């Protein structure tokens, strides 16, 4: 058996680079250091695998050769007048670069999954900038960590352990012991509730539980790290937090602006904002101002709810205000492992991070007009190539209706909902497991993805598949070199 | 209704989209215990969630993580997306969190992925 060290995890934007993979006979036997999400990908990637190219004939998806699938894909793209090329966040930067060449060649729209995750964050950043840093700086220095509209326990399980409250930093100690005590107390509380449920009527048990659940502010000593979670649900991440603030859905903007007012020493003439007592907001504002190095991580709770980019703008302005008093930074919690890389490569090549339209012969960018959901919803596009994504699972209904009505090409290692509705399905190698490449961590640090096993025979990496499609498209347009 | 990530959905979302495990993870709606009592629902019962776009049947489970009555949570996936509006308000981002739905108990079954796709988007063959 061989152990491969320093493997970068190709799952979420944390891109943990301390993964160890044990391999024998081209099979992964074990994975160390990964979270449940990363481990499930490394250990189970080969199940439900599609290794044969498929093409739709007489309404049915049937097996075909790779060459025929690529020819058919090139026919569709070269013959379309306004195709959409969508996905890109679960593949390498090298593949994204070739995708941009195809988009330019066919005069289509190219968009990445940013459009339905942190698209509003990018719009806000373009308006007001971003006081940013790397995750390493946060690990070593941050003494106040806030997760707002983000549940790292479910979406980025090692984020707290590697980069924030549970990480041992050079200038900040890990808060493991405190959180373990908290979890033990929480478990005991749940046991008491179960016992009360058995002993009393459910109303009594509920009342006892409610009394115990009253959020209390037990702040650690000033020199210790503090973890705050702001969310509409009490998530598992909130269970870990020193302070949990529950906001009413769609009212984050009000809370952010209220905090800005409090930081400027203005009084609020109300008792509560979005369900949060002003007294609690005052305490949080004090914590923020008195932090030596604060960081606000925000997630889809801000980008997908009412206000969208305005929520992010308010959050960035809050950190900007705080920098009058202390060091305070802000960072989006990026989801797919290379969504940041997709933004970076798009920007290098076109000047814009997502939703780029080449139909005029030069790149145009106008999210809301040139973004994937909008062009699909309006029925503008006449063909789509989807790579490393599953929009049938992640897009709203009307957009999907138009997506599947037109010719659809899918490049993906597995059969997805989108692949089931495609006209051409090309299997690809798993980037970061069966193919090398470059990815960008959520803090814009580039990392090399390793190939730890060989792909199945005949299955190519995304980059190679795209190069072949590009070559065939250029042949059809009389530009092949 | 709030949509979002769950650890179970995350473990299957990349390489096991057409498995029963994925379906189980994204067809489970979390609801406040008082709301379940009001609707006369038990853990594992089927509910129909309705919007102006359409309706979908999923299973329900009580959750104390939801602290306010009137709020439900369901993980991202094709089931919930089949009832989401597509308008982005000029931002490119459809409203995936915090929009109004109607919920009622139902005896209708939870559709399989293939049946859901055929019902929502037609049969390509």
User: Does residue A411 surpass a pLDDT of 80?
Assistant: yes
3-state SS, residue A124: helix
User: Does residue B16 surpass a pLDDT of 80?
Assistant: no
Tokens standing for residue A141: 């220095």
Looking at residue A326, its pLDDT comes to: 97
Query: Mind listing the domains of chain A with CATH numbers?
Result: 50-117+337-430+457-476 (3.40.50.740), 121-175+220-332 (3.40.228.10)
Q: Which of A144-153, A172-181, A262-271, B71-80 has the lowest mean pLDDT?
A: A172-181
Q: Rounded mean pLDDT of B19-35?
A: 92
CA distance A9 to A478: 41
Condensed to tens digits (0 to 9), the pLDDT of residues A258-293 reads: 999 999 999 999 999 999 999 999 999 999 999 999
Q: What is the mean pLDDT of chain B?
A: 91
Query: CB–CB of B107/B47 below 8 Å?
Result: no
B81 to A368: CB separation less than 8 angstroms, yes or no: no
* Helix segments in A371-435, DSSP class H: 372-378, 391-394, 397-405, 417-420
Close Cβ partners of A439 (under 8 Å, ≥ 6 residues apart): A8, A10, A15, A92, A93, A337, A338, A341, A432, A446, A447, A448, A449
Looking at residue A210, its pLDDT comes to: 61
Condensed to tens digits (0 to 9), the pLDDT of residues A293-330 reads: 999 999 999 999 999 999 999 999 999 999 999 999 99
Looking at residue A203, its pLDDT comes to: 65
- The DSSP code for A305 is S
* Residue of higher predicted confidence among B15 and A216: B15
Q: What is the mean pLDDT of chain A?
A: 93
DSSP line for chain B: -EEE--HHHHHHTTT-TTSHHHHHHHSEEEE-HHHHHHTT--TT-EEEEE-SS-EEEEEEEE-TT--STT-EEEESSHHHHTT-----TTTT----BS---EEEE--SPPPPHHHHHHHHH----
Tokens standing for residue A137: 């700086």
CA distance A255 to A275: 9
Q: Rounded mean pLDDT of B41-59?
A: 95
Q: Rounded mean pLDDT of B38-51?
A: 96
User: Does residue A212 surpass a pLDDT of 90?
Assistant: no
Query: CA nearest A44 in B: which residue?
Result: B15
A413 touches chain B (CB under 8 A): yes
Across the interface, of A119, A300, A395, the residue whose CB is closest to B81 is A395
CA distance A277 to A287: 16
Looking at residue A23, its pLDDT comes to: 97
Looking at residue A215, its pLDDT comes to: 55
Tell me which residue of A225, A92, A85, A127 sits closest to A167, measured CA to CA.
A225
Q: Which of A95-109, A173-187, B47-61 has the lowest mean pLDDT?
A: A173-187
Query: CA nearest B100 in A: which residue?
Result: A249
Condensed to tens digits (0 to 9), the pLDDT of residues A445-458 reads: 999 999 999 999 99
Q: Which of A154-158, B34-38, B55-59, B93-97 has the lowest mean pLDDT?
A: B93-97
A179 touches chain B (CB under 8 A): no
Looking at residue B5, its pLDDT comes to: 86
Tokens standing for residue A313: 């703008």
Q: Rounded mean pLDDT of A458-477?
A: 97
Looking at residue B125, its pLDDT comes to: 57
Confidence band of A213 (pLDDT split at 50, 70, 90): low
Tell me which residue of A423, A413, A416 sits closest to A459, measured CA to CA.
A413
3-state SS, residue A45: coil
A214 touches chain B (CB under 8 A): no
For B122, counting Cβ atoms within 10 Å of its Cβ (0-12 exposed, 13-18 middle, 19+ buried), the class is exposed
Confidence band of A199 (pLDDT split at 50, 70, 90): confident
Q: What is the CA radius of gyration of chain B?
A: 14
Query: CB–CB of B47/B28 below 8 Å?
Result: no
Looking at residue A446, its pLDDT comes to: 98
Dihedrals phi, psi of A199, to nearest 5 degrees: -80, -35
* Residue of higher predicted confidence among A67 and A196: A67
User: Does residue A157 surpass a pLDDT of 70?
Assistant: yes
CA distance A420 to A441: 31
Confidence band of A202 (pLDDT split at 50, 70, 90): low
Q: Rounded mean pLDDT of B39-64?
A: 95
Report the 10 Å Cβ neighbour count for A82: 16
Condensed to tens digits (0 to 9), the pLDDT of residues A26-47 reads: 999 999 999 999 999 999 999 8
Q: Which residue matches tokens 């809370």?
A: A255
CA distance A291 to A469: 53
CA distance A300 to A116: 9
Condensed to tens digits (0 to 9), the pLDDT of residues A121-139 reads: 999 999 999 999 999 999 9
Query: CB–CB of A77/A475 below 8 Å?
Result: no
Confidence band of A252 (pLDDT split at 50, 70, 90): very high
Looking at residue A190, its pLDDT comes to: 77
| Chain A hits for B54, Cβ within 8 Å | 397
Looking at residue A481, its pLDDT comes to: 57
User: Does residue A14 surpass a pLDDT of 60?
Assistant: yes
Looking at residue A112, its pLDDT comes to: 97
| Nearest CA distance, A480 vs chain B (angstrom) | 34
β-pair partners for A89: none
Architecture of domain B2-121: Beta Barrel (2.40)
Helices A93-106 and A66-79: angle between axes, nearest 10 degrees: 50
User: Does residue B99 surpass a pLDDT of 90?
Assistant: no
For B91, counting Cβ atoms within 10 Å of its Cβ (0-12 exposed, 13-18 middle, 19+ buried), the class is buried
A406 touches chain B (CB under 8 A): no
| Nearest CA distance, B66 vs chain A (angstrom) | 5
Beta strands in A302-393 (DSSP E): 327-332, 356-357, 364-365, 384-387
User: Does residue A84 surpass a pLDDT of 80?
Assistant: yes
| Chain A hits for B87, Cβ within 8 Å | 377
Looking at residue B8, its pLDDT comes to: 85
CA distance A107 to A98: 14
Looking at residue A217, its pLDDT comes to: 67
Looking at residue A201, its pLDDT comes to: 62
Q: What angle do CA B20, A39, B3 make, to 5 degrees?
A: 55
Confidence band of A403 (pLDDT split at 50, 70, 90): very high
A398 to B15: CB separation less than 8 angstroms, yes or no: no
Looking at residue A140, its pLDDT comes to: 97
Query: CB–CB of A292/A349 below 8 Å?
Result: no
Q: How many CB pairs under 8 A join A and B?
A: 196
Looking at residue A211, its pLDDT comes to: 56
Tokens standing for residue A440: 């960008």
Break chain B into its structural domains and give their ranges. 2-121
User: Does residue A150 surpass a pLDDT of 70?
Assistant: yes
| Chain A hits for B16, Cβ within 8 Å | 44, 47-48, 414
Looking at residue B55, its pLDDT comes to: 95
Q: Rounded mean pLDDT of A206-229?
A: 73
């Amino acid at each position: 058996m061989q152990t491969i060290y320093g493997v970068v995890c190709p799952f979420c934007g944390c891109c943990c680079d301390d993964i160890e993979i044990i391999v024998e006979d081209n099979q992964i036997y074990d994975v160390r250091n990964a979270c449940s999400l990363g481990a499930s990908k490394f250990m189970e990637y080969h199940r439900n695998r599609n290794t044969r190219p498929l093409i739709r004939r007489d309404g049915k998806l049937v097996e075909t050769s790779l060459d025929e699938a690529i020819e058919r894909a090139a026919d569709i793209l070269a013959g379309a007048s306004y195709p959409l090329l969508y996905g890109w966040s679960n593949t390498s930067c090298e593949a994204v670069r070739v995708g941009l060449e195809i988009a330019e060649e066919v005069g289509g729209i190219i968009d990445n999954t940013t459009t339905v995750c942190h698209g509003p964050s990018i719009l806000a950043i373009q308006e007001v900038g971003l006081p940013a840093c790397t995750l390493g700086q946060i690990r070593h220095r941050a003494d106040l960590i806030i997760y707002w509209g983000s549940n790292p326990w479910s979406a980025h399980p090692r984020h707290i352990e590697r980069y924030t409250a549970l990480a041992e930093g050079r200038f900040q100690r890990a808060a493991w012991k405190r959180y373990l005590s908290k979890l033990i107390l929480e478990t005991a509380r749940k046991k008491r509730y179960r016992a009360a449920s058995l002993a009393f009527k459910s109303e009594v048990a509920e009342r006892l539980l409610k009394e115990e659940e009253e959020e209390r502010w037990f702040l650690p000593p000033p020199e210790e790290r503090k973890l705050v979670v702001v969310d509409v649900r009490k998530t598992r991440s909130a269970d870990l937090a020193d302070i949990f603030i529950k906001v009413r859905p769609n009212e984050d903007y009000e809370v952010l602006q209220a905090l800005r007012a409090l930081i400027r020493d203005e009084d609020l003439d109300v008792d509560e904002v979005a369900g949060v007592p002003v007294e609690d907001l005052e305490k949080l504002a004090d914590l923020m101002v008195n932090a030596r190095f604060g960081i606000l991580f925000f997630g889809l709770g801000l980008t997908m709810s009412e206000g969208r980019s305005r929520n992010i703008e308010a959050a960035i302005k809050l950190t900007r205000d705080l920098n009058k008093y202390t060091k305070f930074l802000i960072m989006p919690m990026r989801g797919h492992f290379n969504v940041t890389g997709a933004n970076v490569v798009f920007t290098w090549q076109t000047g814009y991070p997502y939703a780029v339209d080449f139909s005029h012969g030069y790149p145009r960018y106008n999210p809301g007009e040139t973004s994937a959901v909008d062009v699909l919803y309006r029925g503008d596009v006449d063909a789509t190539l989807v790579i490393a994504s599953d929009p049938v699972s992640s897009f709203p209904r009307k957009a999907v209706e138009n997506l599947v009505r037109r010719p659809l090409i899918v490049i993906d290692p597995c059969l997805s909902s989108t692949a089931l509705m495609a006209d051409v399905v090309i299997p690809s190698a798993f980037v970061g497991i069966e193919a090398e490449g470059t990815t960008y961590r959520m803090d814009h640090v580039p990392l090399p993805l390793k190939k730890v096993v060989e792909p199945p025979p005949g299955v190519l990496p995304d980059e190679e598949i795209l190069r072949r499609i590009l070559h065939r498209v250029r042949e059809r347009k009389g530009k092949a070199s | 209704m709030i949509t979002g990530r769950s650890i179970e959905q995350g473990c299957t979302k990349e390489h096991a989209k057409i498995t029963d495990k994925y379906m189980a993870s994204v067809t489970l709606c979390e609801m406040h215990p008082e709301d379940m009592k009001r609707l006369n629902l038990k853990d594992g019962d089927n509910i129909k969630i309705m919007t102006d776009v359409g309706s979908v049947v999923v299973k329900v489970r009580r959750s104390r993580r939801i602290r306010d009555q009137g709020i439900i949570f369901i993980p991202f996936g094709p089931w919930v997306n089949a009832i989401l509006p597509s308008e982005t308000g000029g931002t490119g981002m459809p409203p995936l969190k915090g929009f109004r739905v109607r919920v009622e108990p139902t005896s209708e079954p939870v559709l399989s992925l293939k049946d859901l796709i055929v019902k929502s988007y037609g049969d390509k063959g």
